[in-house]
Structure 1
Amino acid sequence: MTESLPATAVVRVGRATFEPSRYAEFDALVRKQAEYLVPAIEELPGLLHWFTGVSPEGSMVQISVWDTEEHAEQMDELKLMAVVARGEMEAIGGKFIRPIINYPIDWTI
């Protein structure tokens, strides 16, 4: 399936690590955070897709697709994500990998 995206679309990739022994706690927190993050993120202009996944091996990824780099960069200023959610994750041992990178999309399937 080929999807038509704007020529300016970008993929934003955020990652974090945690002790695998804390997987259940980390996974439960990420699911709880969706209750307040999803509505806030959906209000931002330019969001095309969002995926969050937590691995029992001690890794989390957030992948989002935005129509422009400018819109992707809104996530840097979303306090619910940058302060609240990050603080909750760090409190249980989450370590965020910096920088978060926005990748221009070259092709899709």
Structure 2
Amino acid sequence: MKPVVRVSILRCSPEHFAELRQMAADADPILRPGIEAMPGLLSFYFGADEETSSLTNVSLWTSLEAAKQLDTFKPMLDLGKPFIEKGATFERPIMNYATLWELHGAAESPGTAR
């Protein structure tokens, strides 16, 4: 079975971007243990794009059911509130994509399981 790609996007005004990026970085030790413990997690990335004043998390999961665990993950839901208070908006609904095809770049280590 091919992985499900989950994409969550937050947008903000340019004047709040640096503060929200720092808030996202500070959330790592709060969110990491619970997300890493979730069954079906393959990988998780949190990124920031200053040019578009947006933050995103993209994750790979073994199934749609596994990906949707984040929908009810209380630490993440609780941490979203201060972002909204700073004027951020979350794109809804969160997108969960069925994989149609995939590539593995030359930089990937040989023998990496997928």
- Greater strand fraction, Structure 1 or Structure 2: 1
Counterpart in the other structure of 1:100: 94
Instruction: Give the distance between the partners of 1:32 and 1:88, measured in 2 at CA.
Output: 12
Partner of 1:12: 6
Amino acid at match of 2:5: V
Give structure 1 stretches of 5+ with no counterpart: 1-6
Distance 2:18 2:25 in 1: 11
The offset of 1:8, in angstroms, is 4.2
Where do residues 1-109 of structure 1 align in structure 2 (5 Å cutoff)?
7-56=1-50, 57-82=52-77, 84-109=78-103
Q: TM-score, normalised by structure 1?
A: 0.88
Alignment partner of 1:71: what SS? helix
CA drift at 1:27: 0.8
Q: Cα deviations across residues 18-63 of structure 1 (Å, max 9, x unaligned)? A: 0111121011100001110011111110000111111213111110
Q: Would you say how many aligned residue pairs link Structure 1 and Structure 2?
A: 102
Asked if structure 2 preserves the Cα contact closer than 8 Å seen for 1:49 and 1:65, the reply is: yes
User: How many angstroms apart in 1 are the aligned matches of 2:83 and 2:32?
Assistant: 17
Sequence identity (%): 32
SS of corresponding position for 1:98: coil
Runs of 4+ in 1 over 6 A off after TM superposition: none
Deviation at 1:89, TM superposition (A): 1.0
TM-score by length of 2: 0.85
CA–CA distance in structure 1, aligned partners of residues 16 and 71 of structure 2: 26
RMSD: 1.0
